[in-house]
Structure 1
C-alpha cells in the first residue's frame, strides 16, 4: 500500500476536514472490526481518506472512505452489523 502522505500538501483547514472525515468514517467502521487489528484498520482508513482527498478535495470523504474501506479491506456490505471485519492481507 502506497503512503500518500509523502507527497501531500494541505492547509490546516484541509487537514481538519480530513480528520473530521476520518472520525466520522471510523465511528461507522470501528464496532465491526476485529479489535486485535484495529490499529491496522485505522492506518488503512487514514490512507483511504488521504487518497480520496488527493483525488477530489470537495468529495464526501467520510461516505466514500467507508465504501472503499469495506470494498477493499472487508469485502462486506454495510448491512451486516454483526459481522466482524478482518483485513485482507
Structure 2
C-alpha cells in the first residue's frame, strides 16, 4: 500500500456568487494533486447553484496561502473584471 503524504494544513474558500460566473471560474481552476510537493486542491459547485467551494490541503502554510490567493485572483477577475494588487513584500 502506498505511503500517504502528511497534509496537515487545510483551507477552504466559500464563494457565493451567481451561477453565470461558476463555469468560467471552474474552467480556470485546475484540480491539483502533487504528492511530491505535498499539495492538493480543487473547486466544487455548491448545492442549488449558490456558489463554489475551493479546498486546499498541503504540508506548508505558505503554499496553501498561495493557492488561496490564486483562487481569489481568478474569482475577482471573472466576477469583478479586476485582478488582485501585488502582494506586499513582507508577507
The alignment's TM-score, normalised by the length of structure 2, stands at 0.34
- The structure carrying a bigger strand percent of its residues is 2
- The structure having more radius of gyration, on CA atoms, is 2
Tell me the TM-score normalized by structure 1: 0.34
